[in-house]
Amino acid sequence: MSTSAFGDALLASALPLIMEVKRHDGHGVELMGSRTTAEIVAAYARAGAPCISVVTGRWFGGDDELFREVRGLTDVPLLKKDFITRERQVLAAKDMGAAAVLLTARILPKSALPALIETVLSHGLTPFVEVADREELASVTHAERCIIAINNKDIRNQERDGGEIDVSRSLLQEVIATGTPCPVSASAILEPRVAAELVHAGFKGLLIGTGLLQADTVAGWVQDFNDHRAALVAGAAAQQAEALPGK
Nearest to 127 by CA among 146, 154, 155, 99: 146
**pLDDT, tens digit, 9 for 90 and up, residues 136-173:** 999 999 999 999 999 998 776 655 566 899 999 999 99
For the full predicted model, state whether its pTM sits above 0.75: yes
Amino acid at site 143: A
Instruction: Say how far apart CA 30 and CA 209 lie, in whole Å.
Output: 12
- 242 φ, ψ to 5°? -65, -30
Q: Which residues have a Cβ under 8 Å from the Cβ of 50 and sit 6 or more positions away? A: 9, 10, 12, 13, 15, 16, 17, 18, 76, 77
Containing 21, the helix (H) or strand (E) segment is: strand 17-21
Q: Which CATH number fits domain 5-243: 3.40.47.10, 3.30.365.10, 3.20.20.70, 1.10.238.10?
A: 3.20.20.70
Contact 168, 150 (CB under 8 A): yes
- What is the sign, positive or negative, of the torsion defined by CA atoms of 32, 160, 59, 208? positive
Domain ranges of the chain: 5-243
**pLDDT, tens digit, 9 for 90 and up, residues 169-217:** 999 999 999 999 999 999 999 999 999 999 999 999 999 999 999 999 9
Question: In this predicted structure, what is the pLDDT of residue 242?
Answer: 85
Contact 127, 101 (CB under 8 A): yes
